[in-house]
């Protein structure tokens, strides 16, 4: 069974397709390495959130760090979504894609004064503030701009999301957010500052979460704090429960988005907070299973201890395996009838950590195309130019037709801003 989306399938002839298009044909047409996305799969994933939130005051803000291609942002904006950003560069991308800045929340622990001013001028909906010192800076920047900055405090609820340590963000030892036991004092301080207006509360406990319980625990801790803050006379208009819902890479069983949202709404209602606007910041769950990375086999290198399948994609194209030891399914785009062998799938970058998959079983020959599945999130968004490798091209399948949404980089462009010494 292939992980991910029903938009990905293998035909009776053994050909791997996305939205009915043979992936090997796309590799031949556009070259490799190549990211391919299904627009329909993204919209299907988003629709699950929208159905569950229908009839309630809400705003979905796509966490664009997962995949910030302009066509992806355009697709999500046209579907009525806002955006969760973490830099001034991401704000510039939202605007370039036609996104509405009044539907943007600005998160992140290290916002600069210049980024704050940029966001105030654009008219973002809210700043998710992560420290008391950030409150002070934002108030000063807003006053200098002649503006009032709407703020929501990101609270660290000290809830274990049960995910990889690198992508866990809700524990006391993580760098994110304001500690739960310090949050009431931080709200009082925010309300006293002249350049700020308190509008909400926010938390985000991690990424690739596959259980409901951490969300409910975090929401309960948020609502405890909402009640305490409002007893102090500070109004909380929205509750932002963050994102982080996981996807299936191998055998995970994350809850369906509409099921998770339904349980969160039930908890809000049960505690008397059903009137509040709900905000969510999904990222991976919207785009992760909508994308694949295609790569061509260059060499086969059998050995006694290990056999290596060397491909033209590398850790600079897809960082997740090297950074997180992430397991991502790898499938031949055209099945062979010869017996399978076990391979470590590795790239050409000069690092022993340059691998895409270890101990994988398939029949393959040089020139074949492999697909790394569930690569729509934290794939191209984390790509680099290490070893002066141009980044991959990107294609989106729209209404059954492939559209080139990012041209392949050229090596000369990588050093065009550099200067030789006299």
Q: What is the pLDDT of residues 116-135, one digit of tens each?
A: 999 999 999 999 999 999 99
Average pLDDT, the chain: 94
Asked if residue 3 has pLDDT above 80, the reply is: no
Asked if residue 161 has pLDDT above 90, the reply is: no
Given this model, what pLDDT does residue 166 score?
Answer: 40
Burial of 359 (0-12, 13-18, 19+ CB in 10 A): exposed
Detail the residues annotated as belonging to a binding site for substrate.
Answer: 284, 320, 324, 351, 378
Asked if residue 372 has pLDDT above 70, the reply is: yes
First to last CA, the chain: 60
Asked if residue 418 has pLDDT above 70, the reply is: yes
Q: Give the CB-side neighbour count of residue 5, counting CA atoms within 13 A.
A: 28
How much helix, strand and coil, in percent to the nearest 5, is found in the chain?
35, 25, 40
Q: Which helix (H) or strand (E) holds 311?
A: strand 308-311
For domain 8-38+288-414, give the CATH number. Answer: 2.40.37.10
Share of the chain above pLDDT 90, in %: 90
Predicted confidence band of residue 168 (pLDDT cuts 50, 70, 90): very low
Could you tell me which residues come within 8 angstroms of residue 200 by beta carbon, excluding any fewer than 6 positions away?
A: 126, 151, 152, 236, 237, 238, 239, 240, 277, 279
Kindly state the DSSP code that residue 396 receives in the 8-state scheme. Answer: E
Q: In this structure, are residues 247 and 208 in contact, taking their beta carbons and an 8 Å threshold?
A: yes
Predicted confidence band of residue 176 (pLDDT cuts 50, 70, 90): confident
In 121-276, which ranges are E strands?
Answer: 126-129, 149-156, 178-179, 196-202, 238-240
Taken in order 75, 77, 80, 84, the sign of the CA dihedral is positive
For domain 107-282, give the CATH number. Answer: 3.20.20.10
Whether 8-38+288-414 shares its CATH topology with 107-282 is answered: no
Per-residue pLDDT tens over the stretch 336-365: 999 999 999 999 999 999 999 999 999 999
139: nearest Cα among 115, 118, 113: 113
Domain ranges of the chain: 8-38+288-414, 107-282
Q: Give the CB-side neighbour count of residue 147, counting CA atoms within 13 A.
A: 18
Per-residue pLDDT tens over the stretch 298-311: 999 999 999 999 99
Q: In this structure, are residues 313 and 297 in contact, taking their beta carbons and an 8 Å threshold?
A: no
CA angle 409, 415, 417 (to 5 degrees): 115
Detail the residues annotated as belonging to a binding site.
Answer: 244, 281-284, 320, 324, 351, 378
Detail the residues annotated as belonging to a binding site for pyridoxal 5'-phosphate.
Answer: 244, 281-284, 378
Q: Which of 61, 126, 309, 350 is catalytic?
A: 350
Q: Lowest mean pLDDT of 83-92, 128-137, 164-173, name the range.
A: 164-173
Residues 63, 86: Cα–Cα separation, whole Å: 9
Asked if residue 402 has pLDDT above 90, the reply is: yes
Given this model, what pLDDT does residue 10 score?
Answer: 95
Is 61 among the catalytic positions? no
The pTM of this model reads 0.94
Given this model, what pLDDT does residue 200 score?
Answer: 98
């Amino acid at each position: 069974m292939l992980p991910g989306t029903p938009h990905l399938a293998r035909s009776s002839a053994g050909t791997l397709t996305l939205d009915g298009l043979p992936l090997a044909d796309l590799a031949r047409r556009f070259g490799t390495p190549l990211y391919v996305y299904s627009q329909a799969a993204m919209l299907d994933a988003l629709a699950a959130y929208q159905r569950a939130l229908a009839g309630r005051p809400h705003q979905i803000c796509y966490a664009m760090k997962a995949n910030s291609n302009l066509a992806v942002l355009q697709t999500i904006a046209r579907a009525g979504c806002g955006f969760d950003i973490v830099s001034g560069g991401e704000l510039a991308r939202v605007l370039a894609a036609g996104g509405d800045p009044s539907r943007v929340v600005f998160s992140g622990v290290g916002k600069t004064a210049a980024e704050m001013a940029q966001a105030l001028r654009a008219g973002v909906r809210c700043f998710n503030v992560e420290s008391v010192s950030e409150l002070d800076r934002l108030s000063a920047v807003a006053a200098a701009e002649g503006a009032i900055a709407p703020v929501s405090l990101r609270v660290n609820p000290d809830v274990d999301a049960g995910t990889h340590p690198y992508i866990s963000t809700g524990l006391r030892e993580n760098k994110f957010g304001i500690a739960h036991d310090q949050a009431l004092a931080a709200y009082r301080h925010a309300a006293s500052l002249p350049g700020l207006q308190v509008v909400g509360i926010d938390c985000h406990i991690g990424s690739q979460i596959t259980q409901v319980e951490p969300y409910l625990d975090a929401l309960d801790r948020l609502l405890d704090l909402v009640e305490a803050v409002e007893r102090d006379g500070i109004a909380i208009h929205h509750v932002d429960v963050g994102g982080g819902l996981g996807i299936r890479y191998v055998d995970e069983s994350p809850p369906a988005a509409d099921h998770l949202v339904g349980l969160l709404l039930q908890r809000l209602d049960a505690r008397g907070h059903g009137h509040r606007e709900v905000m969510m910041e999904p990222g991976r769950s919207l785009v992760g299973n909508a994308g694949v990375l295609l790569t061509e086999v260059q060499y086969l290198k059998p050995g006694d201890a290990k056999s290596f399948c060397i491909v033209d994609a590398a850790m600079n194209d897809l960082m997740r395996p090297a950074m997180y030891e992430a397991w991502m399914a790898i499938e031949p785009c055209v099945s062979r009838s010869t017996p399978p062998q076990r391979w470590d799938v590795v790239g050409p970058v000069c690092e022993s950590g340059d691998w895409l998959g270890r101990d994988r079983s398939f029949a393959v020959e040089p020139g074949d195309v492999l697909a790394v599945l569930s690569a729509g999130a934290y794939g191209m968004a984390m790509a680099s130019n290490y070893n002066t490798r141009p980044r991959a091209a990107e294609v989106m399948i729209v209404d059954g037709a492939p559209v080139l949404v990012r041209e392949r980089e050229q090596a000369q462009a990588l050093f065009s801003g550099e200067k030789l010494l006299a």
